[in-house]
Amino acid sequence: VTSGAGISKDEPWIGSSYPYPIIIANADADKKLVDGLIRVFTEDYDKYKDSAPGNAGYALENQNLNWVIPLHDVVVDYYKEIGHWTEDMQQHQDMLVQRQNILLDTWESYTKANPPADKEAFKKGWMTARAEALQAAGMNPVFR
């Protein structure tokens, strides 16, 4: 990381981090709100890009559209509208949505099936259940 309090390109902070910015909305978020936000962040970028060091992360060319979280349907529609969406991105998006649904279904099944009351046993059981469900779908569970 090279931008922030007490760090620079000459004296970067070395460690794990996450991309900045991350704007997250639930799938049921108001569609007009999501549409307005993606349009403002993308179309008005030149108006605000120099107002803070981290704003470079909002630039369209800096967006990672094959990341670990699925995009809101409205955001996908917008990227299609402006010609910035590819078949590879769609395949990745579809996989992320499928993964998310597998995890949701597995969580609901696990929590309804009388899971252990002990915190550690609950956690261990959940991690096993999620890994098995993802593997059964041909997906990497990442965490075990």
Quick check: helix, strand or coil at residue 141?
coil
Quick count: other Cβ atoms within 10 Å of Cβ 142? Answer: 10
Across 40-68, average pLDDT: 93
Q: What digits encode the pLDDT tens for the residues 80-137?
A: 999 999 999 999 999 999 999 999 999 999 999 999 999 999 999 999 999 999 999 9
Question: For position 18, what pLDDT does the model report?
Answer: 66
Q: What digits encode the pLDDT tens for the residues 57-77?
A: 899 999 999 999 999 999 999
Of the candidates 89, 97, 43, the residue with the CA atom closest to the CA atom of residue 69:
97
